[in-house]
Structure 1
């Protein structure tokens, strides 16, 4: 079956998380096939399951409120990051029951983003020992996943036209300024990117990558 793409538009993080868990249960029960959810969240800092991640929040609660940023704890892997307008978040709900290879799945997610950025003229890559996708020392996409009975959820966040100042309230993904900075597609291109076009590229590339993955498992 081809990968199904769902575009949820703008969502609140906790609402989208609840809907995502519904999709996971539907995938486990065989009610749906593999699915990629694309969305933009309202501004939120999410704290992952890594020990000590909450220490990387630099703002007091009143400062969060004044900036209109929510705070949410989540069970994905990784540290703290920001989600918000101008950033595309992708949630693959994909069964790994046949391969049970989480590392190969993560490489697919990384390659998905690298290929899409390449289509836009940006030569992105992985960095040894650090998560996410990078342009030299500038991180352009974060990755944090979880698995339930070999069905994936959570996923990736690709900075497109977002306000990078929002990352200043945290140590994003636990990466210090000495290790790297955060960037976006628009910052790299010097102009605003077409969000709909980037979504289309992600959808097309994901369908190709995961269709190839299905064929290799048969």
Structure 2
């Protein structure tokens, strides 16, 4: 049977609420719901993955909090990253059984999807050997950090759309010393709405994962 996926796009939600939504979708997926691509935006927040090191915070947590930057320790893979307005966050809730439970293949497909999405805007994204994510030239434009529970994925990717990348100055992004971040707007020199990017990313997700977009997710679907 052809694979299908639904999309859920709640807009800007707190990181804590985003985690809660993922927990609900994970449960629905394990109870037989089809794959779900959750697309959203977060207020400013710094998250540390399972390999995250406090030493990769360049600003003290108390000072970050005073600036309105929440700090979360989370269950995804990877080190430290920043989320904020103007960044398209994707949390795919995907069953890895059809991918032979191959997490490495799943990560490569996420990169391919992001590279395809950027190509729709005439931006050439690329992989860097041994590092997860997507780069344009020598600068990083998308980060990936995933979790898996009973072979269903959660957490996911962050694509820098707007020029608001100053939050990265408080961290060593992904634990990579000297890495510089960029965004689609910086590269193109124009404003881009997140919805404009979503409309290119959804068909890229469908192609890369050989799945059909079945429309918006509803709890009763």
The TM-score with structure 2 as length reference comes to: 0.90
1:211 is aligned to 210
1:155 is aligned to 156
1:138 is aligned to 139
**Contact 2:163-2:186 within 8 A present in 1 as well:** no
**Contact 1:27-1:93 within 8 A present in 2 as well:** yes
1:216 is aligned to none
2:196 is aligned to 197
Matches within 5 A, 1:118-129: 118-129=119-130
**Contact 1:3-1:210 within 8 A present in 2 as well:** no
Displacement of 1:94 in angstroms is 0.5
Distance 1:195 1:119 in 2: 14
Tell me, yes or no, if structure 1 residue 167 matches structure 2 residue 168: yes
Tell me, yes or no, if structure 1 residue 3 matches structure 2 residue 5: yes
Tell me, yes or no, if structure 1 residue 105 matches structure 2 residue 110: no
2:85 is aligned to 85
**Contact 1:3-1:211 within 8 A present in 2 as well:** no
The RMSD of aligned alpha carbons is 1.4
The TM-score with structure 1 as length reference comes to: 0.92
2:34 is aligned to 33
The runs of at least 4 aligned residues of structure 1 exceeding 6 Å deviation read none
**Contact 2:127-2:133 within 8 A present in 1 as well:** yes
Deviation track 1:86-119 (CA, whole Å, cap 9, x = no partner) reads 0000000000123211111111100000000011
Displacement of 1:182 in angstroms is 0.5
* Structure 1 segments unaligned to the other structure (5+ residues): 214-218
Displacement of 1:67 in angstroms is 2.1
Displacement of 1:61 in angstroms is 3.1
Count the aligned residue pairs. Answer: 209
2:26 is aligned to 24
SS of residue paired to 2:101: coil
1:63 is aligned to 63
Distance 1:8 1:189 in 2: 27
SS of residue paired to 1:68: coil
Distance 1:58 1:151 in 2: 33
**Contact 2:107-2:132 within 8 A present in 1 as well:** no
**Contact 1:87-1:162 within 8 A present in 2 as well:** no
**Contact 2:9-2:39 within 8 A present in 1 as well:** yes
